[in-house]
Amino acid sequence: MSSGHWHFRRTPFSQETFGAMVNGPSRAFTLFGPRRMGKTEWLREDLAEIASMYRHRVAYASLWQIETAPLNVLLYRLHEALSPRSFAERLAAWVTSLPIKAKIRTPDGTAEVEIDLSATAPPPSQKDFLLLDAYCQALSDTAKPAFLIFDEVQQLATHPDGKAIVAALRTSLDTAGRGLVSVFTGSSMEGLHAMFSRNDAPFFNFAAPLILEPLGEAFFEHQVRAFRVSFGRDVDRTAARARFAQCDGNPELFQRWLQVLGQSPGLTPEDAARITDEQFSVQQDFDKHWRAMTLIHRQMARMIAEGVHGLFGQGGAERIGKWTPDDIPSKSVRQSAQRWLARNGHIERWDGDWTLADPAFARWVLARPEADFR
């Protein structure tokens, strides 16, 4: 999370979106957007703040942690949303890790239930699903609909309890009708599509798509000012602009570069960029992912990063021919490599075109030496 003065509020976008969510015909939304573009930060810090300011109740639940029991995480977060708290207190609670066990009060206030949030929790029972429904009903308010924000929901697609949870959640949200606004997002767009966009998806046609506005000039200016506040000097604007463009407007990669440069004033902007990218790729285990790929996986990943047309036809054959002219894999081998990349979360589809899911990984792949593709 970018703290305090580093956080850039997307104010007009947030206000318009909030207005549309409260007054429009739809009550459920899926937030799509490239990786690390600030989806989570926008939901937690901008949308939730506006909703709280207008006295709507807000819950935020991230289903990321595989090692947690997803339904109990939901119950815990919905229970939290019912208790009176300031927005600052809520935000602080959302960004700290969850307890392993917790006591929650039933929405009617008559009983206390102990829930286990760890992975060793028993599978959900009928009672747990009833409790989920009871919380949704308690939060439902047609005059001021409660905002339920679900992050990393793609996890439900693969979790053993996921199917049952999704079905129960869908029923509860449907019953609550206009009293709840639900927003779903995640870090895997393929995973989200699998849950919301395919014909056989459990939430097919359930939510209206929402696209996060890209960060532009106003964000850039804001970060340059934040740099001055943090480090007491100005960053070289030309170099900063070049880096922002190099990161395709990605806030995280740009901020990391500003941080490195701020801490080490002796570094050139180029050195800071190299160090930032190196640190980032180590942290994200890019090298490990690379080693797990076979030659054809790598070639396909690289071609997708390059935007080669006709991956399975002539375009792909010609590109591969430049690396391994004597060994051009057949169409079906290329297709199966592409499916592997998709299954492993490396690539995803935007408007029908495949891209690498993580733009930082795409740049890393583009920088691999030719030897990695032969």
Q: Which two tokens stand for residue 15?
A: 């206000």
Q: Give the residue with the Cβ less far from ligand ATP, 246 or 255.
A: 255
Which of ligand ATP, Mg ion, none interacts with 2 (beta carbon under 5 to 8 A by kind)?
ligand ATP
Footprint (CB under 6 A) of ligand ATP, residues 245-264: 251-252, 255
Which of ligand ATP, Mg ion, none interacts with 7 (beta carbon under 5 to 8 A by kind)?
ligand ATP
Q: Contact 17/210 with Cβ under 8 angstroms?
A: yes
Q: Shortest distance, CB of residue 302 to ligand ATP, whole angstroms?
A: 22
| 38 lines the binding site for ligand ATP (CB under 6 A) | yes
The 156-195 contact track toward ligand ATP, x by CB under 6 A, reads: -------------------------------x--------
When CB distances to ligand ATP are compared, the closest residue is 38
Number of other residues whose CB lies within 10 A of the CB of residue 54: 10
What angle (nearest 5°) sits at the alpha carbon of residue 38, between those of residues 36 and 39? 100
Which of Mg ion, ligand ATP, none interacts with 302 (beta carbon under 5 to 8 A by kind)?
none
Q: Which of 28, 29, 35, 155 binds ligand ATP (CB under 6 A)?
A: 35
Of residues 74, 59, 9, the one with CA closest to residue 38? 9
Contacts of 344 by beta carbon, 8 Å cutoff, 6+ apart = none
Q: Which of 14, 17, 30, 40 binds ligand ATP (CB under 6 A)?
A: 40
| 155 lines the binding site for Mg ion (CB under 5 A) | no
Strand boundaries in the chain, DSSP class E: 28-32, 58-62, 101-105, 112-116, 146-151, 180-184, 208-211, 347-350, 353-356
Q: Which of 6, 29, 60, 206 binds ligand ATP (CB under 6 A)?
A: 6
Q: Give the residue with the Cβ less far from ligand ATP, 14 or 140.
A: 14
- Phi-psi region at 348: left, alpha or beta (left = phi > 0; alpha = psi -120 to 50): beta
- Longest CA–CA span in the chain (Å) reads 74
Which of Mg ion, ligand ATP, none interacts with 141 (beta carbon under 5 to 8 A by kind)?
none
| 250 lines the binding site for Mg ion (CB under 5 A) | no
Q: What is the number of alpha carbons within 13 Å of residue 364 lying toward its C-beta?
A: 24
Q: Shortest distance, CB of residue 355 to ligand ATP, whole angstroms?
A: 13
Q: Which two tokens stand for residue 76?
A: 């815990």
Which of Mg ion, ligand ATP, none interacts with 62 (beta carbon under 5 to 8 A by kind)?
none
Number of other residues whose CB lies within 10 A of the CB of residue 318: 12
Piece of 31-39, 79-87, 247-255, 301-309 that binds Mg ion (CB under 5 A): 31-39
What angle (nearest 5°) sits at the alpha carbon of residue 35, between those of residues 32 and 40? 70
Number of other residues whose CB lies within 10 A of the CB of residue 263: 11
The 183-202 contact track toward Mg ion, x by CB under 5 A, reads: ----x---------------
Strand boundaries in 274-342, DSSP class E: none
Footprint (CB under 5 A) of Mg ion, residues 37-66: 39-40
Q: Shortest distance, CB of residue 353 to ligand ATP, whole angstroms?
A: 19
Q: Contact 50/19 with Cβ under 8 angstroms?
A: no
| 14 lines the binding site for ligand ATP (CB under 6 A) | no
Residues that bind ligand ATP (CB under 6 A): 1-2, 6-8, 33, 35-41, 187, 251-252, 255
Residue numbers of the site for Mg ion (CB under 5 A)? 39-40, 187
